[in-house]
């Protein structure tokens, strides 16, 4: 390994670890040239704070760097901005080596801590506004939950204007030159990271940016990839633009998007889709559209799902299941925020007809709002059944526009 200890400022050193060989991160993310697990040491006149640790198998590298910049007895605080294992992997060992250090975590991290360290350890919780002192250095905490773990927080070193942003502004991009003005072009990795990690939590990104805006930021020190010191505002603006809904058509034109996604074997589910769309389209304020899942790739699915206020999924039943493209569509919700979206399902069937109910159930687990029960039709829809489909689309569209749902349970 390289013995690099990079200085971010007079009193802050990088002591993280590099993982150039990793190609798939967190099972779902590709990393073309590896990643890094960033951690930092902040030195004050009355002690040292260690900001995060690394993935367990990189502990040796982390401790070697740590020992080259401070002694364990100098460590006054250990700050974990969130407890994901790629940043808490060396925590237990660090606490053994620095027994006098006080662990600082967010309130939401308490229960996760018990899952990571099985013995009782002393800790303090931090919420927005809490400060810790290292003598001539002050670190202030900011609660930035769900970015991308529920317990995520950020912190700000006042004297040197450094934002420790947790996973926010991270990239899976390995380059030991470390600073954004020295590494290669990582812009694709920065955007890819946002799209896969932060995109489902846009409202929380905007809340965090609002908190960050209280401070003058000279350097952003994220937990993965390059340290951003040349123009931090550039990266903040990117997050702002990607998280703001202004770019979406629905808010631009004040309409609600009602999207009917379907697959059809013998045109029956297709017919249902058409009539559901027609019913929805009669409702003022709704723009209804339909999409054949056979011709949508994943990126288009994600973009359409994100724009849609109502997501209606239709599938025939084949061998007791919905068809694969319908499941593929719903699996794209992993990259998006589903809470608040309205969902429904439908389909024609020949023998058993489980698909609409299975899709309905899956959407419930994905936290869609499902005000209407699924609709299924045996083989070719009659005129009366198509009228039901029309009413189904209209009812869901009216609820999408704000009609109150009333029921007895």
| Cα torsion 172, 174, 176, 182: sign | negative
> Shortest CA distance to 12 belongs to which of 182, 170, 227, 232?
227
231 close to 248: Cβ distance less than 8 angstroms: no
Strand blocks (E) in 60-122: 75-79, 102-106
* 161 versus 369: smaller Cβ distance to other proteins: 369
Shortest separation between residue 76's beta carbon and other proteins, angstroms: 22
Query: In angstroms, rounded to a whole number, what is the distance separating the alpha carbons of residues 364 and 359?
Result: 9
CB of 174 to other proteins, least distance (A): 33
CB of 36 to other proteins, least distance (A): 29
Report the nearest approach of other proteins to the CB of residue 393 (Å). 16
H helical segments located in 202-297:
202-212, 232-243, 249-253, 268-281
Paired sense of beta strands 375-378 and 102-106, if any? unpaired
Question: Least Å distance between CB 292 and other proteins?
Answer: 26
Q: Decide whether 254 or 402 has the Cβ nearer to other proteins.
A: 402
Shortest Å distance, C-beta 377 to other proteins:
21
Q: Which is nearer to other proteins, 302 or 363 (CB)?
A: 363
| Closest to other proteins by CB, 58 or 392 | 392
* Token pair belonging to 130: 């809490």
Q: How far apart are CA 3 and CA 64, in angstroms?
A: 8
- For the CB of residue 110, give the shortest distance to other proteins in the complex, in Å: 4
Residue 356's Cβ-count burial label (10 Å; 0-12, 13-18, 19+) is: buried
CB nearer to other proteins: pick between 27 and 409: 409
Which tokens is 284 given? 């003022």
Contact 305, 332 (CB under 8 A): yes
**Shortest distance (Å) from residue 146 CB to other proteins:** 10
Residue closer to other proteins by CB (options 127, 352) is 127
**Which residues of the shown chain bind other proteins in the complex (CB under 8 A)?**
107-108, 110-111, 125, 127, 150, 338-341, 364, 367-372, 399, 402-409
CA distances 390 to 111, 181, 298, 363, 402, Å, are 48, 58, 29, 22, 19
| Spatial separation of the C-alpha atoms in residues 46 and 60, rounded to whole Å | 27
Q: How far is the CB of 361 from other proteins (least distance, A)?
A: 10
C-alpha span between 202 and 127 (Å, rounded): 21
Q: Degrees (nearest 5) of the Cα angle 249, 253, 259? A: 50
CB under 8 Å to 261, separation ≥6 — which residues? 290, 291, 293, 296, 304, 311, 312, 313, 314, 326, 329
In the complex with other proteins, the residue whose CB is nearer, 284 or 406, is 406
The token pair that represents 146 in the structure block:
């769900």
CB 66 within 8 A of CB 5: no
Nearest distance from C-beta of residue 402 to other proteins, angstroms: 7
């Amino acid at each position: 390994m390289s013995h690099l200890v990079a200085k971010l400022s007079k009193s802050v050193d990088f002591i993280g670890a590099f993982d150039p060989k990793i190609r798939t991160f967190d099972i779902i993310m590709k990393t073309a040239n590896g990643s890094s697990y960033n951690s930092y040491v902040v030195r004050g006149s009355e002690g040292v704070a260690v900001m995060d640790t690394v993935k367990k198998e990189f502990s040796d590298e982390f401790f070697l760097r740590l020992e080259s910049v401070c002694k364990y007895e100098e460590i006054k605080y250990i700050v974990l901005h969130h407890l994901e294992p790629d940043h808490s992997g060396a925590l237990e060992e660090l606490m053994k080596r620095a027994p006098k250090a006080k662990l600082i975590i967010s309130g939401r991290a308490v229960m996760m801590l018990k899952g990571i360290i099985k013995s009782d350890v002393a800790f303090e919780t931090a919420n927005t506004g809490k400060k810790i002192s290292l003598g001539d250095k002050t670190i202030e905490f900011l609660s930035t939950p769900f970015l991308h773990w529920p317990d995520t927080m950020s912190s700000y070193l006042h004297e040197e204007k450094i934002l420790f942003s947790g996973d926010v502004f991270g990239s899976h991009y390995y380059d030991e030159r470390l600073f954004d003005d020295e590494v290669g072009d990582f812009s694709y990795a920065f955007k890819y990271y946002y799209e896969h990690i932060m995109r489902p939590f846009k409202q929380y990104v905007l809340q965090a940016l609002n908190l960050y805006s209280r401070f003058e930021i000279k350097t952003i020190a994220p937990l993965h990839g390059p340290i951003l010191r040349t123009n931090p505002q550039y990266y903040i603006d990117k997050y702002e633009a990607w998280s703001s809904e202004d770019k979406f058509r629905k808010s631009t034109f004040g309409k609600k998007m009602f999207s009917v996604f379907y697959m059809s074997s013998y045109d029956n589910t297709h017919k249902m889709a058409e009539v559901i769309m027609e019913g929805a389209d009669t409702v003022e304020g709704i723009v209804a559209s339909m999409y054949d899942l056979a011709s949508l790739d994943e990126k288009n699915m994600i973009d359409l799902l994100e724009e849609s206020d109502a997501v209606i999924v239709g599938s025939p039943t084949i061998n007791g299941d919905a068809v694969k493209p319908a499941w593929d569509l719903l699996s794209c919700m992993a990259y998006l925020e589903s809470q608040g979206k309205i969902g429904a399902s439908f389909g024609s069937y020949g023998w058993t007809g489980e698909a609409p109910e299975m899709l309905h159930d899956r959407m419930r687990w994905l936290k869609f709002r499902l005000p209407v029960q699924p609709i299924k039709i045996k083989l070719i829809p009659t005129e009366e059944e198509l009228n039901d489909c029309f009413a189904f689309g209209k009812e869901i569209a009216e609820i999408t526009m704000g009609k109150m749902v009333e029921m007895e349970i």
